[in-house]
């Protein structure tokens, strides 16, 4: 079965290479209309999924993510229209140059081909991922969580209707219709048919996919993000940035997990900062110096430093020098997002140069590591491996470049 899905996807990918933006955008807009017109039916199908998990012990947060209501459907439709409005990356000639022998050589963006997208419970990801893949000219094979199978199949059915009605290949969007894990393993073995695998979900899912895949995986394990408050920081700015980075949305990968503070400004900075955190319900796990200054904080243990808390928990370390902060980030960071707060020009430049993370910021919140916030348009994920696209991935990152060469009879000497 999986072979058949892969072969259909590869055929669709070949057709999509010839399709122009106007047709893809028409399909995306029709998809949006179809979602809005079929709200009641979508919600009915979603109820089947919700009924299925009622006695499964799924957490309230997970059930919330699984639930489709009017607001979520409108947001999905809005997302489709936004993707339709984004510029099409395909066909862009990023560079063209002339060789001494007169060959004109250029590089032009092309779709990757077939994308395998493996995700967990949110059914709206079905629509997000399908729209980004279509706009970038890729066929997609979607494998969502088994608990969302009715919602996913129904949503994909509407998207495929829109493809058909706009003259595009239906098989450009396929949902694996079973819920078993063997299907995922079979998908991960289709190395001749699928060009790239993107998993989205918890670390367990991503490790499973990475260890079983014969196909390249763009992966994002975790975000252990740091803010380093330098000895030359504007303390008011540091307070705002650190509070925002930790508290504005603690459950996401670009939230701060560890705050590093230079010892010279610790006495002036930390009392107010820690009080503000504690008032917001943030649990502080401090290094020995921090705990000595604030006896009501918890002593951090070694495993706290590389930890992605995804919660109102913050590790705090007082450092004696900027180098100590850089060493700490190098040792415990996850190459995701790290920020410095400083007024010193040289420290800012040094931090930008030395921190080896996908997004490095000066005087701004780590929460800006996001495709929309950085100006890439919609985002399909954040890649923390350095291959292909390091950091947030938008439409352009779902393409690759081939060389095109215009000759007039040149041969190699």
Q: Which stretch binds a second copy (CB under 8 A): 14-22, 153-161, 173-181, 274-282?
A: 14-22
Task: List all residues 6 or more positions away from 320 whose beta carbon is below 8 Å from its beta carbon.
Answer: 262, 263
| 132 to 161: interface string for a second copy, x by CB under 8 A | ------------------------------
Does residue 394 contact residue 109 with C-beta atoms inside 8 Å? no
- For residue 403, how far is the Cα from the chain centroid? 28
| 382 to 411: interface string for a second copy, x by CB under 8 A | ---xxxx-xxx-------xxxxxxxxxxxx
C-alpha torsion 166→79→148→13, nearest 10? 40
Does 354 interact with a second copy (rule: CB under 8 A)?
A: yes
> What's the order of all strands across the beta sheet hosting 298-299?
298-299, 283-286, 313-319, 256-262, 225-229, 337-341
Residue nearer to a second copy on the CB measure, 54 or 412: 412
Does 360 interact with a second copy (rule: CB under 8 A)?
A: yes
Alpha-carbon distance of 303 to 251, in angstroms, equals 19
Among 359, 380, 393, 395, binds a second copy (CB under 8 A): 359
Does 353 interact with a second copy (rule: CB under 8 A)?
A: yes
CA-based nearest residue to 187, from 215, 208, 206, 211: 215
Q: Which stretch binds a second copy (CB under 8 A): 36-44, 223-231, 299-307, 363-371?
A: 363-371
Residue nearer to a second copy on the CB measure, 4 or 353: 353
Alpha-carbon distance of 85 to 28, in angstroms, equals 10
Phi, psi of 85 (to 5 degrees): -80, -15
Looking at residues 223 to 242 of the shown chain, list those that interact with a second copy (rule: CB under 8 A): 234, 237, 240-241
Among 3, 14, 301, 323, binds a second copy (CB under 8 A): 14
Residue nearer to a second copy on the CB measure, 45 or 239: 239
Counting residues that bind a second copy (by CB under 8 A) gives 67
CA dist 324 → 75, 224, 286, 317 (Å): 44, 17, 16, 10
Binding site for a second copy (CB under 8 A): 14, 17-18, 97, 99, 103, 105, 110, 112-113, 195-196, 210-211, 214, 216-218, 234, 237, 240-241, 244-245, 248-249, 330, 348, 352-354, 356-365, 367-369, 373-375, 385-388, 390-392, 400-412
């Amino acid at each position: 079965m999986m072979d058949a899905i892969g072969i259909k996807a590869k055929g669709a990918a070949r057709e999509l290479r010839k399709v122009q933006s106007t047709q893809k955008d028409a399909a995306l807009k029709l998809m949006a209309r179809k979602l809005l017109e079929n709200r009641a039916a979508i919600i009915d199908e979603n109820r089947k999924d919700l009924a299925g998990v009622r006695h499964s012990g799924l957490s309230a947060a997970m059930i919330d993510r699984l639930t489709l209501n009017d607001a979520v459907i409108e947001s999905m439709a809005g997302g489709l229209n936004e993707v339709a409005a984004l510029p099409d990356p395909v066909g862009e000639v990023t560079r063209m140059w002339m060789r001494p022998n007169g060959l004109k050589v250029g590089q032009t963006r092309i779709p990757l081909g077939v994308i395998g997208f493996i995700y967990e419970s949110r059914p709206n990801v079905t629509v997000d991922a399908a729209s980004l893949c279509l706009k970038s000219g890729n066929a997609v094979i979607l494998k969502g969580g088994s608990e969302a199978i009715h919602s996913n199949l129904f949503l994909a059915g509407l998207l495929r209707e829109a493809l058909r009605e706009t003259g595009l290949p239906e098989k450009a969007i396929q949902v694996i219709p079973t819920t078993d894990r063997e299907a995922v393993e079979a998908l991960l073995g289709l190395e001749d048919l699928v060009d790239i695998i993107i998993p989205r979900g918890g670390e367990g899912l991503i490790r499973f996919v990475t260890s079983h895949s014969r196909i390249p995986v763009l992966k994002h394990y975790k975000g252990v993000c740091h803010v380093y408050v330098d000895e030359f920081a504007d303390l008011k700015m540091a307070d705002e940035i650190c509070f925002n980075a930790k508290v504005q949305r603690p459950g996401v990968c670009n939230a701060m997990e560890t705050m590093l503070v230079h010892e010279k400004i610790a006495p002036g900075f930390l009392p107010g900062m820690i009080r503000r955190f504690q008032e917001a319900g943030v649990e502080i796990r401090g290094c020995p110096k921090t705990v000595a200054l604030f006896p009501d904080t918890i002593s951090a243990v070694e495993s706290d430093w590389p930890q992605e808390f995804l919660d109102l928990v913050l590790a705090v370390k007082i450092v004696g020098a900027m180098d100590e902060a850089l060493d700490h980030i190098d040792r415990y960071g996850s190459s995701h997002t790290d920020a410095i707060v400083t007024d010193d020009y040289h420290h800012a430049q040094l931090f930008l140069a030395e921190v080896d993370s996908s997004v490095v910021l000066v005087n701004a919140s780590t929460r800006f590591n996001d495709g929309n916030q950085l100006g890439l348009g919609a985002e399909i994920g954040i890649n923390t491996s350095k291959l292909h696209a390091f950091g947030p991935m938008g439409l352009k990152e779902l393409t690759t470049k081939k060389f095109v060469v215009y000759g007039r009879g040149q041969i190699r000497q």
